[in-house]
Chain A
Amino acid sequence: MWSYVRNLPSKARAWITAGLGTFAALAVAVALGVFEAQPQAAVSQILPGQSLDAGKWRIKPLKVWVTDQKIHGLTPKADQKALVLEVELMNRTTRSDKSYYSTVHLPPGIGAKAEKPMIYLVRDDALMPALQPGLPEKMAYVWLMPATAIPEGRIDFSIEAEKFKQRDNLYGMPGWFNAYTAAKASLALAGGQG
Chain B
Amino acid sequence: MRPLGNILVVCLAVIVLYAMQQTKPHYEDLTGPIPAYGKMHETVHTRLVDLRLDQVDFSRELAFTQYGQRKTLTTSGLWAVATTELAATTASTTVAAATWVGPTGLHYEKTDRIGTLSSQMPPMLDPGMPRKVRFVFEILPDQVNGATFTLSSRMAPRLDSEARIAIDDFRKFNDGQPLIADSYDLAKPVPVSGN
Contact = CB atoms under 8 A, between A and B. Distances in A.
Direct contact of A and B (CB under 8 A): yes
B107 A133 contact: yes
Contact of A130 (B73, B105, B112, B139): B112
Given A123-B74, A129-B113, 19 more contacts: A94-B105, A95-B107, A96-B107, A96-B109, A124-B73, A126-B113, A129-B111, A130-B109, A130-B112, A132-B77, A132-B108, A132-B111, A132-B138, A132-B140, A133-B107, A135-B75, A167-B28, A172-B26, A172-B28
A121 interface: yes
A134 interface: yes
A94 B77 contact: no
Given A94-B106, A124-B113, A126-B115, A173 B28 contact: yes
Contacts of A48: none
- The 5 A-B pairs of least Cβ separation, nearest first, read A96-B109, A95-B107, A133-B106, A129-B113, A126-B113
A162 interface: no
Interface in B100-157: 105-109, 111-113, 115, 138-140
Contacts of B76: 135-137
B111 A130 contact: yes
A133 B108 contact: yes
Contacts of A121: 113
B60 to A, nearest CB: 13
Interface of B: 26-28, 71, 73-77, 105-109, 111-113, 115, 138-140
A134 B76 CA distance: 11
Contacts of B112: 98, 126, 129-130
A155 B139 CA distance: 35
Contacts of B138: 132, 135
Nearest to A91: B106
Interface in A98-137: 98, 121, 123-124, 126, 129-130, 132-137
A167 B27 CA distance: 10
Interface in A52-98: 94-96, 98
A171 B30 CA distance: 13
B140 A134 contact: yes
B77 A124 contact: no
B190 to A, nearest CB: 24
Interface residues of A, number: 21
A121 B138 CA distance: 14
B111 to A, nearest CB: 7
A134 B140 CA distance: 7
Nearest to B76: A135
B111 A95 contact: no
Nearest to B115: A126
B27 A172 contact: yes
B25 to A, nearest CB: 12
Interface in A156-183: 167, 171-174
A130 B137 CA distance: 11
Contacts of B106: 94-95, 133-134
Contacts of A135: 75-77, 138, 140
A151 B73 CA distance: 35
Contacts of B109: 95-96, 130
30 contacts: A94-B105, A94-B106, A95-B106, A96-B107, A96-B108, A121-B113, A123-B73, A123-B74, A123-B75, A124-B73, A124-B113, A129-B112, A129-B113, A130-B111, A130-B112, A132-B77, A132-B108, A132-B140, A133-B107, A133-B108, A134-B106, A134-B140, A135-B75, A135-B76, A135-B77, A135-B140, A136-B76, A167-B28, A171-B28, A174-B28
